[in-house]
Amino acid sequence: MKTLKNILMQKDKFYFLDEWECDLIRFHAKQRQINKERSGIDGLGTVNEKSGLELNYAGFAAEYIFCREMNLFPDFSVNNDSKKKGTDKYDATWNGWSVDVKCSRNIRNPMMIPEYSKCDVDIFAFFQGDENRFEFKGFATNGMVFDERKLKFTRVLSYVVHSYDMLTMDEIIFLKTKI
């Protein structure tokens, strides 16, 4: 029997993609990559010095898993959205809150958001992983992330939040309903 605890995202739990999901995500990531290359913005706005299909795959895989587990429909649009310009409507809307899903392929890396990408999103959801296996590291509120004390110089000046500071589903619901 599924309980509410089994349905919601669980911090430090691994989530898996089957072969069909991987194919779907790979196809969509390729469309995003082609669009970025054709418009000349490939690699802009990322902390990672390497851009490309692998980053698009990992990013969309994390978005897909989040939406699948939260019973939301993933955003399959292929656009050149910008947080700076206010055209990025984020990755999902859950309980009326905007959610920006982040992913690191390196399990040792914390969540890093470039300083120039500061935005008004309500919640961040952070994953680590690649291919078909992704670990959900937790949630962070906008205020937790965009705190001047979190600014560190990585490849670029970025807000850095470690997984041990991330919130569980219960904690994010508690905090967001209190605000």
For residue 101, pLDDT beyond 80: yes
**In terms of pLDDT, which residue wins out, 6 or 10?**
10
Mean pLDDT lowest among 28-32, 87-91, 123-127? 87-91
CA distance 11 to 171: 11
Q: Are 126 and 163 in contact (CB under 8 A)?
A: yes
CA distance 2 to 31: 35
Q: Give the model's confidence band at 52: pLDDT under 50 very low, under 70 low, under 90 confident, else very high.
A: confident
Q: Which residues, at least 6 apart from 97, have a Cβ–Cβ distance to it below 8 Å?
A: 122, 123, 176
Q: Are 5 and 170 in contact (CB under 8 A)?
A: no
pLDDT attached to residue 1: 46
Count of beta carbons in the 10 Å neighbourhood of residue 123: 23
pLDDT attached to residue 60: 94
Segment holding 66, helix H or strand E: helix 53-69
Model confidence, pTM: 0.87
Q: Give the model's confidence band at 53: pLDDT under 50 very low, under 70 low, under 90 confident, else very high.
A: confident
| Angle at CA of residue 104, ends 147 and 36, nearest 5° | 95
Short-list 76, 135, 140, 67, CA closest to 105: 135
Chain segment 116-169, per-residue pLDDT in tens:
889 999 999 999 999 999 999 999 999 999 999 999 998 899 999 999 999 999
User: Is the alpha carbon torsion for 23, 131, 57, 128 positive or negative?
Assistant: positive
